Amino acid sequence: MRKGQYQFVAGFLLVPVALYLVFVIWPYIQTFGYSLTDWKGQSQTFSFVGLDNYVALFQDDIFLGAIWHNILFLVFIPVITILLALFFAFMVNAGGRSRAGGVSGVAGAGFYKILYFFPQVLSLAILSVLFGAVYRSDSGGMLNGFLVSIGLVDPGAPVEWLNEPNFVLWALIAVIVWHGVGFYLVLFSAAMQSIPRDIYEAALIDGAGRAQSFFKITLPLLWDAVQTAWVYLGIVAMDMFILVSTMTAPGGEFGGGPDHASETMSTYLMRNFLIYGKSGYACAMGVVMLLLTLILSVVTLRATRRERIEF
């Protein structure tokens, strides 16, 4: 690259890099600085307390419980979403009966793609309203009404989906999976369309069934897309603020009910920052969340790394 080209590239990147440093990196640095103080949020006077906030965090049972809830989300949300998206993507691209024209998807594959993708156009705030009606804790709720109609639930004792500690996390996971499957179906479908049909047809001639075609052909050739999806879904699982704060907060204060059974790090952080006035403590939570998310991303990328298969 010639000298003039270096100057052009440097000049082109100067403003974006400066904006990134000011609006992204600097707030991270500020947050770490505030996490070492007893900052109350409203006042600019605060004292340096060192690592006291971090020590208190790991003695806080609510915060430790919130980490456990995020871990559960981290395990189940990516696994269920990716498995369903892979299955549906395989069916709409290569799950149909083999015809003279070669391997194809099931009948109506284009319609199914639109149908499955539809939840993705809705924001999580809207989904929280919709599923609030689905999970209503009376027979007027969609889910309870269905269970009552088929005789699985007593009309006088409907299930408290969002007020029962044993159900609330699974109810939230179901919403996130329903919302995300369509997007990753489209992502995996786009990747599958780049796989030559000759490979599937050769496998069919050799007597391979659908399950063998999926595990021996589709999954290995889609591994990069699966790896990317896993990282994105892991980040979603580490957040969950919008859904938890809107669906489990009938009395306000950013959700987490009942009795912190659905508490996440993000909801507990916002409660401490905006309601309890423990802003320095909340900043320490933010730093821990950042570190856990970075560790998660690195570990996931390394654990799922495998030799690239070319075709």
The one-letter amino acid code at 76 reads: F
Question: Is 83 within a domain?
Answer: yes
Question: Is 3 within a domain?
Answer: no
Instruction: Kindly report, residue by residue over 133-164, the tens digit of the pLDDT.
Output: 889 887 778 888 888 888 888 877 888 888 88
- Which of 280, 268, 291, 289 lies closest to 36, judged by CA? 280
Instruction: Kindly report, residue by residue over 109-130, the tens digit of the pLDDT.
Output: 777 777 888 888 888 888 888 9
Q: Which residues touch 236 (CB under 8 Å, ≥6 apart)? A: 77, 176, 180
**Would the pLDDT of 250 be above 60?**
no
Give the pLDDT confidence score for residue 100 in this predicted structure.
46
- Which of 271, 299, 228 lies closest to 78, judged by CA? 228
Q: At what angle do helices 168-192 and 124-134 cross, to 10 degrees?
A: 130
CATH at 69: 1.10.3720.10
Instruction: Kindly report, residue by residue over 21-49, the tens digit of the pLDDT.
Output: 999 899 899 999 999 998 887 777 788 98
Query: Could you give the CA distance from residue 62 to residue 259 in angstroms, rounded to a whole number?
Result: 10
Q: Which residues touch 67 (CB under 8 Å, ≥6 apart)? A: 265, 292
Query: Could you give the CA distance from residue 254 to residue 295 in angstroms, rounded to a whole number?
Result: 26
pTM for the complete prediction?
A: 0.84
Q: At what angle do helices 26-34 and 279-303 cross, to 10 degrees?
A: 120
Question: Is 311 within a domain?
Answer: no
Question: Is 130 within a domain?
Answer: yes
User: Reduced to 3 states, what is the DSSP secondary structure of residue 37?
Assistant: strand
Six-digit token string for 311: 């075709």
Query: Could you give the CA distance from residue 117 to residue 9 in angstroms, rounded to a whole number?
Result: 39
Measured at the CA of 199, the angle between CA 198 and CA 205, to 5 degrees, comes to: 85
Percent of the chain with pLDDT over 90: 24
Query: Could you give the CA distance from residue 155 to residue 138 in angstroms, rounded to a whole number?
Result: 8
Percent of the chain with pLDDT over 70: 89
Q: What is the CA radius of gyration of the chain?
A: 24
Q: What is the mean pLDDT of the chain?
A: 83
Question: Is 32 within a domain?
Answer: no
Six-digit token string for 55: 């020590």
Instruction: Kindly report, residue by residue over 155-213, the tens digit of the pLDDT.
Output: 778 888 888 888 999 999 999 999 999 899 888 888 888 777 777 777 777 777 777 77
Domain that holds residue 164: 60-303
Question: Is 114 within a domain?
Answer: yes
The one-letter amino acid code at 114 reads: I
The one-letter amino acid code at 107 reads: A
**Would the pLDDT of 304 be above 50?**
yes
**Number of domains present in the structure of the chain:** 1
Question: Is 30 within a domain?
Answer: no
Question: Is 93 within a domain?
Answer: yes
